[in-house]
Structure 1
Amino acid sequence: MKFSMTALTAAALIATAPWAAAQNVAIVNGKAVPTARVEILAQQIAASGRPVDEAVRAQLKEEVVLREIFMQEAQKRGIAASEEYKTQMELARQTILIRALFAEHQKQNPVTDAEARAEYDKFAAANAGKEFRARHILVEKEDEAKAIIASIKKGAKFEDIAKKQSKDPGSGANGGDLDWAAAGSYVTEFSEAMVKLDKGQMTQEPVKSQFGWHVIRVDDVRQAQLPDFEEIKPQIAQQMQQQKLADFQKNLREKAKVQ
């Protein structure tokens, strides 16, 4: 049996048709839209933590088809030759290149376990010691604070006065409660007065700070409760990585010859 060239060509096209279809999402106005475009978008979605199921893939296929339609129309109108387009493309090129530079630096300079541990040890040393569960009432004038101290000594409840008179909106609504914190968390005048108090004691004189006049009571004292290293290791590593990147940027700026 003899086959013509036309028959052989048709057979070849039929044989390769499934392969060609797998390579392209669609053919838009005669131009192939490669499946790779869908995969790029799918990878971006997956990287953000979202699952990429068949429904999402269907949406992505429609997305790349629409993009191709819109791009073809933009090309037809000559938009790619406009100065505005060229300017935006240059800015996009710079952004992508700089992002790639920073990503490469971070990949080549990861935060090691030893570095993270050393940073944790510094954190632990700085935050070790006592923590105070304190309350305060903040008012504008010294006379107000003195009157409050006198009322409490006569039997008025600290918490009730804080709710009614404290100018600190955060703690006032909670009866003046400041929760657990180290002395260093407060302004100097406040912390110096607070650390002199034992559990259950209140300042006998108003304490002045930049915020006004305070009446302070210490409800409890304990040793600082620090999180375990493994618990906060990811946060430490992230902060240190950001610092390394900032140092890298600063170093490049300092070395550059800018005239």
Structure 2
Amino acid sequence: MSTSQSTTATPPVRRRFTRPVPVSVNGVVIPSAAIAREAQHHQAADPDQAWMLAAQALAVRELLSQEAERLSIVAEPVEDGEGRRETLQEARLRELVEREVKVPSADDAACRRYYQANLGRFRSADLCEVAHILIANGPQAQELAGRLIAELRRQPERLAEIAAAHSVCPSRNQGGNLGQIGPGQTVPEFEAALSGLEVGKIHPEPIETRYGLHIVRLDRRIEGRQMPFEVVRDRIADYLEDTVHRRALRQYVTILAGRAQLTGVDFGAAAGPLVQ
């Protein structure tokens, strides 16, 4: 006599989100509901990380609020350039940071050093003048594209005529001309093909993108130009001062945290900036 044994598949175990111990700063408890609301504003790989980032953000705010209270900070709310007015608490925290976190202005020498070390950041982008024929995806697309490329190699002056007859891109009404194209204005595979193409030549293979198959001719390459230091000096100064200010503010918050009694939050394990 034979016996049969039935088995039941075990459902996959889902990772459960577990909230850590209550978060408090010098005895002031930050409600879980407030952390949950704040967590919606923090991108994270999982709910636990979002909760941690939200808890850190609210703990920093509480640290600064308590310090503003200790120093009897008073400030008048101001409006930004778009007409948004600070709350009283936001004004107090702004005044606290302005008073306690001092950073030097970026001088001309520092800006010039940064400019020389990062010349590539202050160069206008290269531009390409391009004409193309777009063949719609389909069973005969590769064969048609190959045949048209062969014809254009023999008679390159026919590109406008062939574009009008076969291209599914609106540029067919301008002889296939796409105008001037800069970095990021086309899909990556199209841009990569242009980077290695000689001016005046048609790409030897059709370029496949999500739009179809492209037959491409590079008509002109316009080299980017280096922007003079005088044009970008203020932009560099703003960047350097903002970077130093963020670093100083982080150090200030770390000092406050070192003096405080904290539970449920660890600034030493912060994955990102403590203050934004």
Q: Which has the higher contact order (CA 8 A, sep 6+)?
A: 2
Structure in which a larger fraction of residues adopt helix: 1
Q: TM-score, normalising length from structure 2?
A: 0.43
Larger radius of gyration: 1
